[in-house]
């Protein structure tokens, strides 16, 4: 084992260690959320994950970005096999260790190069869509502050650099082999077309081959450690998030069992309310009705926030947002993540405290004690604009349930603060008094049936 291998081992260990450390922070954040049992129907969940996450099903509602994204996605999956080879080569000082696979290796390298070229094309087009044509859902919206915009560009540039490094490595390797008269395992349609790009100086070529290799491997480790700070974390979270997504109809909203017990006890004095849950110190757990802050949401709702890739498909189909209201489902999800990292742990690079007030789009100003998810980040005006139409949920390619978070925040406003708009309070009173949301007398409920005729059958 040479010095280079030892350095590589150290760098890789450092990169992986840092990543694990960051993942633990994120899992701690997600675990701030309420417990929620979501382990039922594993086979249905696996199918859904294969279809929606692995199979990219919902991406194809918009064909152009879907195809471009597919290139990057498949590129990511397949090129990872070469990354595995790079890791082995790096540790043991071998060269193209998977070459023993023969024809299969040829196919693999061939596909790899085609995909790498497509990834460059797709990323370039993504950069174009974001920065030149400024596709509205990617460029507009109060939640698209400087950081989310920069983050997207950083990711795209890193991906392009990684692909170029891979090509540089392959080109130099091929040319060297040709000069030295040895066989190189694999088939390289792109690199072989640029064989003479770096000239014929063996020393230079060797340096380029090594630099290309190192940039690629360090780039990947850096990329991995950048993920937890980025919207790009979706490449990991999409899978568990779809697995744990809602299996019931979208119209079924969560029921609070604590309220059921209270009502049953009210209606029937003989009803026995189950003993409240106890915390570690033996005190009863006091649960808020609805959500005021991140820890009142479920772990799944917090996981949603880490899965969001800020594509804005939800916001672009939201009837409230389309008609100029403040509500943006994407903002609800991004705010949840920012608040989680403000209150809990923040990853290595992104610290919301540093980026929250950028680009002249400061958040609403609230008093210290109101610095919670509700009001500190998400205003009641946004929440009351929601029609619960589920267009956002339908549009989300990674099955985020924006409506459930909106509903929990609304519940807190109504149940804990009695802060519903006056007209809704009037509606509540009507239901209580008349059994209808309007002020009609319940005794008139059957009047519609008067003087009703049908043709008689002869």
**Beta-bridge partners for 34:** 298
Distance in Å, CB of 363 to other proteins, minimum: 19
* Closer Cβ to other proteins, 163 or 332, answer by number: 332
Distance in Å, CB of 89 to other proteins, minimum: 48
- Cβ atoms of 129 and 183 within 8 Å: the answer is no
Distance in Å, CB of 296 to other proteins, minimum: 13
* Closer Cβ to other proteins, 285 or 452, answer by number: 452
CA angle 138, 299, 415 (to 5 degrees): 95
Tokens 């139409």 belong to 389
* Closer Cβ to other proteins, 206 or 264, answer by number: 264
CB within 8 A of 308, min separation 6: which ones?
A: 231, 234, 330, 333, 334, 337, 398, 400
Among residues 337, 317, 338, which one has the least CA distance to residue 328? 317
* Closer Cβ to other proteins, 37 or 368, answer by number: 37
Among residues 425, 388, 423, which one has the least CA distance to residue 406? 388
Distance in Å, CB of 430 to other proteins, minimum: 8
Count CB atoms within 10 A of the CB of residue 285. 8
From residue 403, alpha-carbon distances to 212, 314, 383, 385 in Å are 46, 11, 10, 12
Distance in Å, CB of 382 to other proteins, minimum: 8
Question: CA 60 to CA 66: how far, in whole Å?
Answer: 5
Distance in Å, CB of 18 to other proteins, minimum: 42
Conformational region of residue 3, where left means phi above 0, alpha means psi within -120 to 50, and beta covers everything else? alpha
* Closer Cβ to other proteins, 162 or 409, answer by number: 409
Distance in Å, CB of 57 to other proteins, minimum: 12
Cα 316 to its chain centre, rounded Å, is 17
* Closer Cβ to other proteins, 100 or 448, answer by number: 448
- The continuous run of DSSP H or E covering 172 comes out as helix 146-180
* Closer Cβ to other proteins, 248 or 281, answer by number: 248
Hey, what are 124's tokens? 């370039």
* Closer Cβ to other proteins, 163 or 393, answer by number: 393
Distance in Å, CB of 287 to other proteins, minimum: 12
DSSP 372: E
């Amino acid at each position: 084992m040479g010095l280079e291998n030892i350095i590589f081992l150290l760098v890789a260990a450092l990169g992986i260690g840092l990543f694990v450390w960051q993942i633990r922070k994120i899992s701690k954040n997600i675990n701030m959320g309420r417990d929620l049992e979501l382990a039922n129907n594993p086979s249905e969940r696996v199918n859904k994950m294969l279809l929606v996450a692995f199979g990219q099903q919902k991406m194809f509602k918009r064909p152009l970005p879907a195809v471009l994204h597919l290139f990057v996605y498949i590129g990511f999956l397949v090129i990872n096999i070469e990354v595995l080879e790079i890791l082995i080569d790096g540790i043991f000082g071998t060269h193209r260790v998977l070459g023993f696979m023969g024809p299969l290796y040829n196919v693999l390298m061939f596909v790899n190069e085609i995909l790498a070229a497509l990834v460059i094309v797709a990323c370039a087009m993504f950069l174009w869509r974001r920065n030149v044509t400024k596709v509205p859902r990617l460029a507009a919206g109060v939640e698209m502050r400087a950081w989310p915009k920069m983050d997207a560009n950083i990711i795209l540039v890193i991906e392009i650099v990684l692909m170029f490094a891979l090509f540089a490595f392959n080109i130099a390797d091929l040319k060297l082999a040709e000069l030295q008269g040895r066989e190189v395992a694999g088939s390289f349609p792109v690199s072989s077309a640029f064989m003479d790009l770096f000239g014929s100086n063996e020393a230079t070529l060797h340096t380029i081959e090594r630099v290309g290799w190192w940039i690629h491997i360090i780039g990947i480790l850096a990329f991995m450690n950048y993920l937890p700070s980025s919207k790009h974390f979706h490449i990991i979270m999409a899978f568990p998030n779809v697995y744990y997504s809602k299996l019931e109809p979208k119209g079924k909203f969560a029921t609070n069992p604590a309220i059921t017990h209270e009502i049953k006890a009210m209606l029937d004095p003989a009803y026995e309310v189950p003993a409240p849950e106890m915390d570690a110190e033996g005190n009863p757990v006091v649960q808020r009705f609805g959500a005021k802050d991140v820890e009142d949401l479920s772990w799944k709702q917090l996981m949603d926030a880490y899965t969001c890739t800020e594509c804005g498909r939800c916001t672009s189909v939201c009837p409230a947002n389309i008609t100029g209201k403040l509500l943006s489902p994407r903002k609800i999800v991004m705010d949840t993540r920012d608040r989680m990292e403000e209150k809990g742990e923040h990853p290595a690079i992104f610290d919301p405290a540093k980026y929250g007030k950028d680009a002249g789009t400061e958040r609403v100003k609230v008093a210290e004690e109101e610095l919670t998810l509700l009001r500190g980040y998400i205003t009641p005006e946004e929440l009351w604009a929601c029609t619960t139409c589920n267009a956002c949920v339908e549009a989300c390619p990674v099955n985020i349930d924006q409506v459930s978070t909106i509903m929990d925040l609304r519940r807190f406003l109504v149940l804990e603060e009695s802060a519903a708009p006056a007209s809704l309070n009037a509606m509540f009173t009507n239901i209580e008094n008349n059994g209808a949301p309007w002020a009609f007398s319940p005794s008139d409920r059957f009047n519609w049936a008067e003087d009703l005729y049908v043709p008689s059958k002869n």
